[in-house]
Structure 1
């Protein structure tokens, strides 16, 4: 029988079966909170410092005071991992506005709540690594950058949930979402990169997308391998005409896209550049210089 993992909740380490938060927590009531998803490979926490930096930037942007200093948060993550002893696993780190009343006013929440979940999970779209995944271009649009900002990794994922429902109803693996201007933004839980003529093209951060740590790592890795990298607006037509398309994110790593709206992408999935990047990512993700050892 699999052991019951240990979670961290507001300074205490508890078994997952005993983990509790208040029903008055504004993270539950209103999605008022932030999170990070972090992978652990062979005992190395991949890009932990970068994830913590983004967490604290998100908190600052939404006037959320995290009750731990960054060094204390890092220590709590590592101690949670040590207690579970997994060499390969996933961390979901959440900070909610905390317990309040049934109103939306954050003033009624005196202290934020910190939750660290550590489990072993299967990769997102793991079945698509070899042959690619099927997608649609969703009718749901990403919110405009002057509304709910996707630069904040918020608990409110309704936009992605609706696009995922649309993908489910059409029998495909994922949905690609456009921004308010009609340019390509990202997928429901990952960012997106296209390949033309031996160069990589990624939607810019101004296209209502998350500043993905995996995206940044993959683009830098591609430059190291000698590929030109461009961040620019991309139309749906340009995306459909790409030679290769792949998604990248913490859970899915690099996942090739086989089709969009039933139209095949390129002549082979994964394409040669995507295939090389997947292999290089596998090599680099366990390197201690790209993360923080648990012990």
Structure 2
């Protein structure tokens, strides 16, 4: 079960979660004006391992500055806040969600200093689950309309629609196409394919989010001598691939066993198993 912890780090101190709630009249609530990130704190028996923490917080900082959500806390302070929060929680693996927003009761655009809250969420980790996906009826929002790389709160209504409609149709997730009709990504994860000893994945100019886990996989592939090809991928190519999987911070790496009527044996694919083994070694340091 996904469950938020009863305490959070909020504007410099640990407080009950409800003290960080925005006003019902906050424009962050009404208009989706906010920036967030997602970070996994892996509990490895006697310590936490957080993969590329500073890179996550730099992305958060850059996105919030781009839309004028300014705050006074340094990246180092936020990193220390995450550590402080984890120290006061029961030891387990958490999904950490820092979010920048405005809590004040003003539904109109303002230049007020933003609030910063870091909450932790317990998440089920069914790491071996294989997924069923469909091509979503919802198009991936164009990065010319809303910059994909900023991880803006309001953008993710696109992801919500893609996933919930796919789940209602009996699938685990939806694969979105971009305006050109090419494959972009899943609702909240990057999509990668396996083909003749290589990884093939949509290029960023296909309205693809530059995920940190995506780049981690590129590093793993480089170390293993596995070619990575970033290019435009059309839906009619789905029959050509030997496997497919999703990658994100929360999802980690999830094999796909079908996209629409195209069947894959990803979980048993030796290339995928090599990549997955190295990824688990990294996250269980």
Is 2:110 the counterpart of 1:106? yes
Indicate the SS of the match to 2:153.
coil
TM-score under structure 1 length normalisation:
0.88
Residue 283 (structure 2) aligned to one of 275, 282, 285: 285
Is 2:55 the counterpart of 1:50? yes
CA RMSD of superposed structures (Å) = 2.0
Indicate the SS of the match to 1:114.
strand
Indicate the SS of the match to 1:32.
coil
The change in CA–CA distance for 1:144 and 1:268 in structure 2 (over 3 A counts) is: closer
**1:70-105 deviations in Å (ceiling 9; x for gaps):** 2222221221112225242221110114425222x2
Residue 79 (structure 2) aligned to one of 45, 57, 74: 74
Q: Which residue of 1 aligns with 2:70?
A: 65
Aligned pairs for 1:54-203 (under 5 A) are 54-103=59-108, 105-107=109-111, 110-123=112-125, 126=126, 129-130=128-129, 132-156=130-154, 157-203=156-202
TM-score under structure 2 length normalisation:
0.91
Deviation at 1:47, TM superposition (A): 1.3
Please say if residues 244 and 270 of structure 1, whose CA atoms lie closer than 8 Å, have aligned partners that are also in contact: no
Unaligned runs of 5+ in 1: 288-295
**Partner Cα distance (2:158, 2:255) in 1:** 23
Please say if residues 4 and 15 of structure 1, whose CA atoms lie closer than 8 Å, have aligned partners that are also in contact: no
**Partner Cα distance (1:17, 1:113) in 2:** 14
Aligned residues: 278
Q: Which residue of 2 aligns with 1:11?
A: 12
Unaligned runs of 5+ in 2: none
Indicate the SS of the match to 1:151.
helix
The change in CA–CA distance for 1:243 and 1:133 in structure 2 (over 3 A counts) is: same
